[in-house]
């Protein structure tokens, strides 16, 4: 694999997750729009909420890896080449960012910043 083709990763995720891949993509887009709306409404990022969201994001990356191992027919010991390890790192990163974004957005809409 000389070139990094994003469609290869999309195909692998489609094979692993099936229909749930598209559900997760749709949920991610909805969460991103809700995050942007929250930042616009509050006119900025609340640092305390962001720190909590980042801490939860670390756990979210681990959960993403557990889900990947559960839906995949292979485990982490089967990872052989750089593409496999890149995919594992990508899954962790996406889980981290998605869960942090989701937690920040949920906390922001549930407990908005008090107006000064």
pLDDT tens string, the chain, 116 residues long: the values are 567 788 887 887 787 777 888 888 898 899 899 999 999 999 999 989 999 999 999 999 999 888 888 877 666 666 777 877 888 898 899 999 999 999 999 999 998 776 65
pLDDT for 80 = 76
**Count of helices and strands (H, E) across the chain:** 4, 0
User: ∠102-89-64 over CA atoms, to 5°?
Assistant: 40
The rounded distance, in Å, linking the Cα atoms of 28 and 26 is 5
Domain boundaries, the chain: 6-110
Q: Which 3 state secondary structure label does DSSP give 46?
A: coil
* pLDDT at res. 91: 87
Token readout for 82 is 């750089």
CA distances from 6 to 3, 9, 16, 29 (A): 10, 5, 15, 18
pLDDT of residue 85: 81
pTM equals 0.76
- Interatomic CA distance for residues 71 and 80, integer angstroms: 19
Per-residue pLDDT at 37: 95
What distance in Å separates the CA atoms of residue 39 and residue 20, rounded to the nearest whole number? 28
């Amino acid at each position: 694999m000389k070139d990094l083709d994003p469609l290869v990763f999309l195909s692998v995720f489609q094979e692993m997750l099936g229909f749930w891949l598209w559900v997760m993509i749709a949920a991610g887009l909805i969460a991103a729009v809700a995050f942007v709306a929250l930042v616009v409404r509050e006119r900025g990022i609340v640092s305390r909420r962001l720190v909590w969201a980042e801490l939860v994001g670390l756990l979210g990356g681990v959960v993403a890896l557990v889900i990947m191992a559960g839906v995949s027919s292979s485990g982490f010991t089967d990872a052989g080449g750089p593409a496999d390890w890149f995919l594992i790192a990508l899954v962790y990163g996406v889980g981290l960012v998605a869960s942090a974004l989701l937690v920040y957005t949920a906390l922001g809409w549930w407990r908005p910043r008090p107006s000064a």
